[in-house]
């Protein structure tokens, strides 16, 4: 009969955090029971309470054995290696009930309702989607010539549409033109040269056919909600996928299993919602959270459909030629990262900014680069930050937590006080301008996102002496897929 554990172990974590998953995996291997409090599921004030309990630390995990604060995953692993101290701590938690000073798990009623893993697509049909379907059935939509030797995919002329509407819907020309304009405005159809629907020989093509090479070009016949609603819906489903197909140590993804799952089948269908979502009137935090989540989801989607890129040219194609249709426009991975989230700045190997004058996507670019997105975007490689999702509510705290977690690892940030050298992930080299123009400025940026301890103390001394030299660790492009 297993030994009864009288004490309580609480692990404050977030979904998809490798450090959290390694810590929990270690506790399981040691035969210890723990309460997992996923901070993603609770309002920001719970994170603030945990920060206070852990003496100012905002990274995850934070682990408590009754009232004793162990720290993060690294502190736990160090403790386990110290056999005598570890046996003493295990004996303590197994034999001692939690006292009044021990942290209490938050009230479960405060947790967010994450039911988007209800995998049945019950939705309200969109009247314009039904109209498109009827147009196809009546052969109004067919292959049309849109220029000399250029054949359009699944198009219709404005003249044929008006005639068909008059005949089948018994409406006048003005109403037919109004509905035709709505098909343009709501991103069901398009004409690249004009934005006004006309009763003439102009050819209008369906978005899904115009951009048929996009990963989410399938037909979506449901009514589409706001960008925040769609983003949250997709975020919840991604969390479901992570919970099932992320390895216990958080380091790899079972892409093969995911590809065959009901969850991914539903995700593919829901991703087509993005074709018609309105992203023009959302707040900055809503925009940042939305595009981070979409980027991370698109990487997974592309890895399943295309496989992981294994060499330089393949990586170029992966990031520049993997697309989603969002609000009637085509976005690659680099468009989202460098165009939107970095404020339309040149990325690695780019000779010009992603969005040129006149590009309608340019209006969505942030006014300035958000440096913390570099700790949130996961490119599918081993050296990338861990996979997470983000919510617009409390976004700054979530991004800050991601930064603390990333820099906690010596693989991403190591300080040698004797030589004055700081060794960083190559992310800091590629996107140098987002963090600072000089080595000293980058070091000052790092200080804001390092937990109190020897690493931060050593870096503070280097900054005070204004003697900082940066080096970079070679990026590991090996894929994070499960073998």
The pTM for the full model equals: 0.77
Nearest to 139 by CA among 159, 164, 158: 164
When pLDDT is cut at 50, 70 and 90, the band that residue 196 belongs to is: very high
Per-residue pLDDT at 1: 43
Q: What are the chain's domains?
A: 9-110 (3.40.30.10), 127-210 (1.10.10.10), 243-253+273-392 (no CATH), 401-473 (no CATH)
Query: Encoding tokens for residue 188?
Result: 């069901």
For every residue of 143-209, DSSP letters joined together read EEEEETTEEEEEEEEHHHHHHHHHHHT---HHHHHHHHHHHHHTTSEE-TT-SS--SSS-EEEEHHH
Mean pLDDT, residues 23-40 taken together = 88
pLDDT at 458 over 90: yes
Kind of pairing between the strands at 9-13 and 35-38: parallel
Q: What is the pLDDT of residues 105-159, one digit of tens each?
A: 888 777 665 444 444 445 677 889 889 989 989 988 887 655 555 555 678 999 9
Highest mean pLDDT among 174-183, 186-195, 314-323: 174-183
Helical segments of 274-387, H only: 284-306, 312-320, 333-334
First CA to last CA across the chain, in angstroms? 36
Task: With a cut of 50, say whether residue 312 has pLDDT above it.
Answer: yes
Instruction: For the chain, give the percent of residues with pLDDT over 70.
Output: 89
CB neighbours of residue 105 within 10 Å: 12
Each residue's pLDDT tens digit, 88-109: 999 999 999 999 999 998 887 7
State which of 211-225, 258-272, 357-371 shows the largest mean pLDDT: 357-371
pLDDT band at 310 (very low <50, low <70, confident <90, very high): confident
Least-confidence region, from 23-32, 57-66, 225-234, 267-276 = 225-234
Residue 73 has pLDDT above 70, yes or no: yes
How far apart CA 111 and CA 146 sit, in angstroms, is 54
User: CB–CB of 179/188 below 8 Å?
Assistant: no
Helix (H) or strand (E) holding 421: strand 421-425
Q: Residue 481: helix, strand or coil by DSSP?
A: strand
Res. 397 pLDDT band, cuts 50 70 90:
confident
Highest mean pLDDT among 33-42, 45-54, 339-348, 402-411: 339-348
């Amino acid at each position: 009969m297993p030994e009864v554990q009288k004490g309580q172990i609480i692990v404050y974590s977030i979904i998809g955090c490798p450090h959290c998953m390694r810590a929990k995996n270690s506790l399981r291997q040691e035969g210890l029971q723990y309460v997992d409090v996923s901070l993603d599921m609770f309002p920001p004030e719970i994170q603030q309470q945990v920060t206070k309990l852990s003496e100012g630390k905002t990274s995850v995990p934070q682990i408590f054995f009754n009232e004793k604060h162990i720290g993060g995953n690294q502190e736990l692993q160090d403790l386990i290696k110290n056999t005598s101290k570890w046996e003493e701590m295990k004996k303590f938690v197994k034999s001692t009930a939690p006292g009044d000073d021990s942290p209490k798990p938050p009230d479960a009623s405060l947790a967010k309702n994450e039911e988007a893993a209800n995998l049945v697509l019950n939705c309200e049909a969109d009247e314009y989607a039904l109209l498109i379907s009827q147009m196809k059935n009546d052969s109004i939509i067919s292959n049309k010539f849109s220029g000399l030797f250029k054949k359009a995919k699944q198009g219709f002329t404005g003249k044929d549409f008006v005639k068909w509407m008059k005949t089948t819907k018994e409406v006048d020309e003005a109403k037919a033109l109004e509905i035709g304009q709505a098909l343009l405005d709501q991103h069901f159809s398009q004409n690249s040269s004009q934005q006004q629907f006309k009763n003439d020989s102009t050819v209008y093509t369906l978005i899904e056919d115009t951009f048929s090479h996009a990963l989410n070009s399938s037909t979506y016949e449901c009514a589409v909600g706001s960008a925040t609603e769609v983003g949250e819906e997709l975020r919840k489903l991604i969390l479901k996928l992570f919970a099932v197909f992320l390895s216990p140590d958080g380091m790899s993804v079972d892409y093969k299993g995911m590809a065959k799952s009901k969850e991914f089948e539903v995700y593919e269908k829901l991703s087509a919602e993005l074709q018609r979502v309105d992203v023009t009137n959302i707040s900055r935090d809503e925009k940042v959270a939305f595009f981070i989540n979409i980027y991370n989801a698109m990487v997974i989607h592309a890895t399943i459909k295309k496989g992981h890129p294994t060499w330089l040219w393949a990586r170029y194609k992966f990031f520049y030629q993997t697309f989603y249709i969002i609000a009637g426009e085509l976005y690659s991975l680099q468009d989202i990262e460098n165009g939107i989230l970095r404020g339309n700045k040149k990325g690695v190997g780019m000779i010009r900014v992603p969005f040129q004058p006149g590009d309608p996507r340019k209006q969505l670019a942030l006014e300035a680069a958000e440096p913390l997105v570099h700790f949130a975007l996961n490119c599918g490689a081993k050296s990338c930050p861990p996979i997470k999702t983000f919510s617009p509510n409390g976004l700054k705290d979530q991004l800050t937590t991601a930064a603390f977690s990333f820099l906690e690892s010596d693989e991403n940030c190591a300080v040698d006080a004797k030589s004055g050298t700081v060794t960083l992930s190559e992310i800091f080299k590629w996107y140098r301008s987002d963090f600072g123009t000089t080595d000293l400025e980058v070091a000052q940026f790092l200080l804001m996102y390092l937990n109190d301890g020897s690493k931060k103390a050593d870096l503070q001394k280097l900054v005070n002496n204004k003697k900082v030299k940066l080096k970079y660790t070679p990026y590991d492009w090996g894929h994070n897929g499960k073998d």
